[in-house]
Amino acid sequence: MILDDLVAATKRRLKIEKQTNSLKAVQQCAKVALKTLPAIDFAAQLKQPGLHIIGELKQASPSKGQIVTDFPYIAIAKAYDEAGVDAISILTEPAYFKGSLTYLDKVSKITKRPLLRKDFTIDPYMIYQAKANGAAIILLIVAILDDQQLKDYLQLAHDLQLNAIVEVHNEAEVKRALAAGAKIIGINNRNLKNFTVNVANSLQLKNLIPADVAVIAESGLKKPADLIPLKQAGFDGILIGEALMRAEDKAKMVQQFKEVAYG
């Protein structure tokens, strides 16, 4: 299963990273960031009118391989910012997505938009890393965490003034996310076991989530018209990755999505 491979690769990476940069050192950097970075309530932002857009910086993926060969991530982030995305998602997983924490750190210095560290969070160390490198949001994937980890990581995120998107793929995971106290739930239309996409998944699971919890649809959104059923169903946000990365004029595509999202 691809998800198992991703988790295994993350464990190997963390082992090396902890030898290079100790937990204590990363915690200290996170502590500095806590004092200097403004707190952002992303759940409250999502609950404002409109379908909020998270634009993603992504070079590659396990399902698509190399998405773009040219990756001027700073220029892309600036284009997203100027086009008015509500947040920017940055892949930091290197083995399968060719991401890097450096991207997160450098983009945090050129935008005030909330940044999502998109990675496979399996250790508190990664949450401290996210804060230390300028993230305002982390991703917690229910499928790779047990109930205690979910609760503990949500609490740690709260303590560090980080928002958490709790990602789900099925009804059982929705129930676990809600039981853990998730304020933002991301419904991934991509099956992480085989990476097939079913956009109807978001619409089916949305009905299980209380109105006071912000809901984001992730994966498989290719064109502005894809947003219409999500908007009608009362979604609060969408995450768009591959469609934007493949677009020649990324700012123009953001504007086209915004016309539907806020129209």
Catalytic residue set? 56, 58, 118, 167, 188, 218-219
- Quote the distance between the C-alpha of residue 75 and its chain's center: 20
- At residue 78, the 3 state secondary structure works out as helix
Query: What six digits make up the tokens of 103?
Result: 């991207």
The residue among 105, 139, 132 whose CA lies nearest residue 34 is 132
**Inter-residue contact 130 to 153 (CB < 8 Å):** no
Q: Alpha-carbon distance 263 to 171, whole Å? A: 31
Q: Is there a contact between 117 and 90 (Cβ–Cβ < 8 Å)?
A: yes
- Three-state SS string over 196-209 comes to CECCHHHHHHHCCC
